[in-house]
């Protein structure tokens, strides 16, 4: 295992990124209860909720129909992915002014190795400067966690929102995290923490209590127990990998549940998280996908892979709709599922796709338009004289031809 000594890892988590970008685009949304989702329909789920909406009990992954029951006049807007990508690059490029060792975890969060710059600047000073600059230059609030490992940095950034700044040193990890609920442990399954809580293991300190060790292992297994102990103690990776999600012809992600799931709503929530992760990766690389795959493995280790080809896209809602259809068409409510996954294949650069779309779908219409223009021109010339009307060329274009 890597030596964690002297490593300074930042986890920079944009606060309500989708909502922040929406307010930048439409300032009238500031201070209002609104959500990002699919507009003009009750289908789908809430992608992100503004703080005003959250105060009403509306939250991410909530079905839109349920959110609208809570607030009938809730404002629902569709995210502008082009603008989201633009501001994603803006905050990434700002972080690159401090370090080139950056790992993009999703469209709104990054890990950054600040070890080198921290040799001559205080990490807290750097973090505060980043926060101030992001707000001042781009109107983007963020929370930052500082720690010697990726796991602890992620845990730290989640502790204070919005505009939080938290430091976790290895020697202080348990004293800082001990009072937190076990459900805050990054990477723990959504069925694992209710199981722990229902058996009296409510906090991270409870998890570390030696008297509870045998009970915890009996509930979640030795591997999961060791995972939590090692990661909270700071004995995990301190390596930020910029090329972890390098471009390939296909990408995928999956999750094996410590406790098998049998509720379709819970499974779809996990599939939504996976879809969002993959979308952030292809958007970051300016890629689009044509083939969507869903993997389902039941408690008897029977694995089912189902794929569907669509028109090239990088739109979350279009892709998640396919994921939902593939899952619902191949899952019987009540079946015990141990793994689900999402894959995107036949990836191409957006530029390449747009060029192909032009050649394939618009070339003929372009030719027909040109023929109509020529016919119109001929009719006008016949009526007003051969030299009276010509097809214009801009002066700049004439210069280029020369």
Question: And the tokens for 178?
Answer: 């001990």
Q: Could you give the CA distance from residue 145 to residue 111 in angstroms, rounded to a whole number?
A: 9
112: three-class secondary structure by DSSP = strand
| Residue in 109, 270, 352, 371 annotated catalytic | 109
Q: For residue 398, with 0-12 CB atoms within 10 Å meaning exposed, 13-18 middle and 19 or more buried, which class applies?
A: exposed
**Catalytic residue flag (residue 109):** yes
Beta-strand pair 165-167/142-147: parallel
- Contacts of 316 by beta carbon, 8 Å cutoff, 6+ apart: 47, 79, 81, 275, 276, 279
- CB-based burial label for 402 (10 Å; 0-12, 13-18, 19+): exposed
Helices and strands (H and E) in the chain: how many: 16, 13
Question: Which residues does 166 contact at the CB level (< 8 Å), separation at least 6?
Answer: 143, 144, 145, 146, 156, 157, 159, 160, 176
The whole-angstrom separation of Cα 134 and Cα 140 is 5
- Residue spans of alpha helices (H) in 6-165: 17-25, 51-54, 64-70, 81-95, 123-138, 150-157
293 phi and psi angles, rounded to 5 deg: -125, 140
90: helix, strand or coil: helix
Q: In what order do the strands lie in the sheet with 75-77?
A: 48-49, 34-36, 75-77
Strand partners, 102: 112
Taking each helix axis from N to C terminus, what angle separates 222-232 and 213-220, rounded to the nearest 10 degrees? 120
Task: Return d(Cα 17, Cα 182) in angstroms, integer.
Answer: 26
Residue 91 is encoded by which pair of tokens? 């905050």
Q: How far is CA 21 from the centre of its chain?
A: 14
| Active-site annotation, residues | 109
């Amino acid at each position: 295992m890597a030596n964690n000594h002297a490593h300074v890892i930042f986890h920079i988590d944009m606060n309500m990124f989708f909502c922040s970008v929406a307010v930048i685009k439409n300032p009238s949304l500031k201070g209002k209860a609104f959500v990002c989702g699919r507009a003009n329909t009750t289908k789908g789920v809430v992608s992100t909720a503004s703080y005003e909406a959250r105060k009403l009990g509306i939250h991410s992954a909530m079905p839109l129909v349920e959110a609208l029951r809570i607030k009938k006049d809730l404002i629902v807007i569709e995210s502008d992915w082009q603008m989201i990508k633009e501001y994603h690059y803006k905050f990434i490029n700002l972080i690159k002014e401090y370090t080139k060792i950056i790992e993009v975890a999703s469209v709104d969060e990054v890990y950054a190795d600040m070890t080198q710059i921290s040799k001559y600047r205080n990490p807290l000073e750097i973090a505060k400067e980043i926060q101030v600059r992001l707000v001042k230059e781009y109107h983007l609030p963020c929370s930052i966690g500082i720690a010697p490992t990726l796991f602890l940095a992620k845990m730290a950034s989640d502790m204070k929102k919005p505009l939080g700044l938290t430091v976790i040193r290895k020697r202080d990890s348990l004293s800082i995290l001990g009072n937190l609920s076990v459900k805050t442990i990054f990477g723990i399954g959504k069925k694992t923490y209710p199981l722990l809580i229902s058996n009296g293991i409510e906090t991270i300190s409870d998890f570390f209590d030696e008297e509870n060790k045998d009970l915890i292992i009996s509930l979640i297994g030795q591997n999961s127990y060791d995972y939590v102990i090692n990661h909270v103690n700071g004995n995990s990776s301190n390596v930020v990998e910029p090329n972890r999600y390098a471009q390939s012809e296909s990408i995928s992600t999956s999750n094996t549940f410590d406790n098998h799931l049998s509720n379709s709503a819970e499974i779809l929530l996990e599939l939504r998280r996976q879809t969002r992760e993959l979308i952030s990766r292809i958007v970051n690389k300016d890629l689009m996908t044509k083939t969507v795959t869903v993997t389902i493995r039941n408690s008897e280790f029977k694995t089912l892979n189902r794929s569907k080809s669509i028109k090239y896209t990088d739109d979350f809602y279009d892709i998640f709709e396919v994921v939902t259809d593939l899952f619902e068409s191949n899952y019987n409510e009540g079946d015990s599922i141990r793994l689900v996954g999402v894959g995107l294949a036949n990836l191409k650069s957006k530029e390449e796709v747009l060029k192909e779309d032009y050649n394939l779908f618009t070339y003929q219409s372009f030719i027909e338009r040109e023929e109509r223009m020529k016919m119109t021109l001929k009719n006008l010339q016949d009526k007003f004289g051969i030299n009276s009307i010509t097809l214009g060329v801009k002066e700049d274009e004439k210069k280029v031809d020369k």
